Amino acid sequence: MDNKFTSYLPKNSVYLIEQWVKDLDVDIRVVKPRKSKLGDFRCNLNRKYIISINNNLNQFSFLITLIHELAHAFVYEKYRKTVLAHGNEWKEMFRKLMFNFLSDKIFPHDILSSLSKHLINPSASTCNDVVLSLVLRRYDLVKSLNISEIKQGEKFIFSDRTFIKGEKLRKRFKCIDLKTNKLYLFNPLAKIDLPKGS
């Protein structure tokens, strides 16, 4: 078994992860970052399980994402395609697997606190949990700025366009494109840049 992926994990998590990967006979691939997802699970035509994880995740995000995908593999092994992808079976499996790692020997206290709350009702993606995502980002090697970190009324750059940050609705920020004057809604975790000279 190719264990190159283990270098991306917190040291104290490796042994159990290796056991699960071996039991499932799953191929773990560390891949270039994708904008739309952190990880992915699939079963190919030969009934081989394949999990891919983005290579730009910090060790804690990598572990949580890998366990998310391993939960898919365990659920698929038991139910095939007869249950919802992120239904109750997956939620229960994700919680069950994750509980093995809720330790300060693996996670810092701030992540443990947010992760414990997240596990009460895990969502389809940790990105949907803004609090957990922001705590995890503290440990990124390459620091980035997100829209939550600037003040209302400030200008920012996103996809080579300049916007002004507006008020927060329930979950997203209303922002105006300065060139077109069109209104856009931004996820609080959207990665942005500040205009030069700011």
**Can you tell me the distance from the alpha carbon of 188 to that of 32, in angstroms, rounded to the nearest whole number?**
24
| DSSP letter, residue 89 | H
**Can you tell me the distance from the alpha carbon of 120 to that of 108, in angstroms, rounded to the nearest whole number?**
19
Instruction: Report the chain's terminal Cα–Cα distance, integer Å.
Output: 50
Residue 45 pLDDT level (bands cut at 50, 70, 90): confident
Helices 130-137/59-79 angle, 10° precision: 130
Helices and strands of the chain, counted as H and E runs: 5, 9
- The 3-state DSSP composition of the chain as helix, strand, coil percent (nearest 5) reads 40, 20, 40
3-class DSSP state for residue 193?
strand
- CATH code reported for the domain at 4-137: 3.30.2010
Residue 188 φ then ψ, to 5°? -55, -20
Q: Residue 198 pLDDT more than 80?
A: no
pLDDT of residue 1: 40
**The tokens 């190919």 sit on which residue?**
44
Q: What is the pLDDT of residues 47-84, one digit of tens each?
A: 899 999 999 999 999 999 999 999 999 999 999 889 99
pLDDT of residue 3: 53
Q: Residue 37 pLDDT more than 70?
A: yes
Q: What is the pLDDT of residues 102-133, one digit of tens each?
A: 999 999 999 999 999 999 999 888 878 889 99
pLDDT of residue 91: 96
Q: Residue 2 pLDDT more than 50?
A: no
pLDDT of residue 191: 86
Q: Residue 146 pLDDT more than 90?
A: no
Q: What is the mean pLDDT of the segment spanning 9-36?
A: 94
Q: Residue 141 pLDDT more than 90?
A: no
Calculate the alpha carbon distances from 111 to 8, 101, 116, 183 in Å.
Answer: 17, 12, 8, 34
User: Token pair of 136, please?
Assistant: 């995890």
Q: What is the mean pLDDT of the segment spanning 153-160?
A: 93
Calculate the alpha carbon distances from 38 to 61, 108, 135, 151, 154 in Å.
Answer: 9, 21, 16, 28, 29
**The tokens 């000279």 sit on which residue?**
197
- Domain map (residue ranges) of the chain: 4-137, 145-192
**Can you tell me the distance from the alpha carbon of 156 to that of 151, in angstroms, rounded to the nearest whole number?**
10
**The tokens 């996670």 sit on which residue?**
107
pTM over 0.85: no
